[in-house]
Amino acid sequence: MERVGKWLGRPREIYNLLRFKMGGGAAVMPPLDQDALSDGLRTCYRYLNQTSRSFAAVIQALDGELRHAVCIFYLVLRALDTVEDDMTINLETKVPILHDFHSYLYQPDWRYLESKEKDKQVLEDFPTISLEFRNLAKVYRDVIVDICHKMGAGMAEFLEKKVDTQHELDKYCHYVAGLVGIGLSRLFSASELEDPIVGQDAELANSMGLFLQKTNIIRDYLEDQVEGREFWPREVWSRYAKKLSDLAKTENIDVAVQCMNELITNALHHVPDVLTYLSRLKNQSVFNFCAIPQVMAIATLAACYNNKQVFRGLVKIRKGQAVTLMMDATNIQAVKAIMYQYVEEIYQKVPSTDPSSNKTQQIIVSIRTMSLPNGVAVSRNHYSPIYLSCAMLLAALSWQYLSAMSKASEEYVQASEN
C-alpha cells in the first residue's frame, strides 16, 4: 500500500493548495476541527498523519462524513499491510491473521503487540481504530469489511508466490491497489457525494489502482532489488535477461531499458479507464483526491520512459513540476491536457528500434484521441495573479517537507548501493 503515491507532503502545508477550485477563486473548506472530534477520532487522525506519506492531506480535504470513513478505511488497511510487511512474523502466525483480519473489526479488544514495523502503533492500538470503525454508518462498515477480507486473502496468496506472468502482476496489483480503488469508489457513492455508477463500476476503479501500482513498481526497480523484492513479471523480463537482477548490470543497460519500456506500455493501457473514471466525478474534494495521484503517475512514467537512470538510482519528478500538477489537476479538461502533454513526451522518446515501439505508439494515439477529442489543446495557464501568489506561497511551504523526503530517499539509495 505504501507504494501508492509517495509524493505528497505534510497535511497542514498543502491542505489549502489541494482545495483551490477553478476559475481563479479560492473556495477553501475550513481545516479539520480537532476539538469537535471524539478522543478516538482525534487519535485516528494522529495515526493517519504519522503513517501516511500520501493520503493524509487529501483525506482531510474530503467533504463531510466521507472524510472519517476514508480515514478509518486507510488505517484498517495500513494495519493489515503492516502485518503483511513484517518479516519477523512467521508464516504460521501471519497467514491466519491476514485471512481473519476483517473479523477483528468487530472484536473490541483485538490488538497485536509483537510487530517490529515502524507503523506498529496501528496494531498495538487497533481497539481505538476498530471502535471508530463500529461508529461509522453501516453502508461504510460493509464496504470496509468486504475490502479488508478480500485484500487479506490476496496478501496471503502472494506471501510466497512470485509474479511470473503479466496476468499475475495484474492480480497482485488488484489485491494491493485495485481493491483500494474499488473500496474508495464504493465509499464515494455510499456518501452520496458521487453517483452510484462510480461505486458500481469495479473495472474502472480497479484500473485507477493498477495504474498507480504499476507506476511505482516500474520506478522502484532498484529499491526493490536492494530490499530483495521482485514485482516485474518473469514473463516479460526473461526475454531480456537470465535474472531480474541482471538488468541492473552496466552491460545489460540497453535491454533493461527495453524491458522497462514494455512495462510502461502495459501501464499506459489503464489511462483511458482513468480518464473515464475521473470524468464521472462531481464533487471537487473527491476529484482532487483521485486526480492528483494519477497525474503524478503519468508524469513519473514520462520521466522513466527510455531512461537508464531507473537502473542506477532514483528517478524523481522535478519539484516545480509536481507543484504545478497539484495546482492544475482540479477538473477533467485540465487532467486530459496533462495526460496529453506527458504521453506526447513519451511519444517523442520512443526509439524506432525498441521492440515495443509499435504498441507504445498505438496506445499513445488512443490516449491522445481521448484526451483531446476535438484536436484542441486546453490551456492550463488560467490563474489570476492573486491565485498564483497564494498558491505558490503554500507550495513553497509544502516543498520544505518534500525536499527533506527527497533527500532522505536519495541518501537511502546511495547507502544501499554502497
* 289 annotated active-site: yes
* 229 annotated active-site: yes
Phi, psi of 38 (to 5 degrees): -70, 165
Which cell numbers in the block locate residue 229?
523484492
* 186 annotated active-site: no
* 67 annotated active-site: no
One-letter amino acid for residue 417 of the chain: E
Q: How far apart are CA 41 and CA 133, in angstroms?
A: 10
Phi, psi of 372 (to 5 degrees): -130, 75
Catalytic residue among 289, 305, 311, 340: 289
How many other C-beta atoms are found inside a 10 Å radius of the C-beta of residue 36? 8
Catalytic residue among 46, 229, 239, 318: 229
Catalytic residue among 55, 104, 133, 172: 172
Catalytic residue among 188, 219, 221, 287: 219
Catalytic site positions:
172, 219, 229, 289
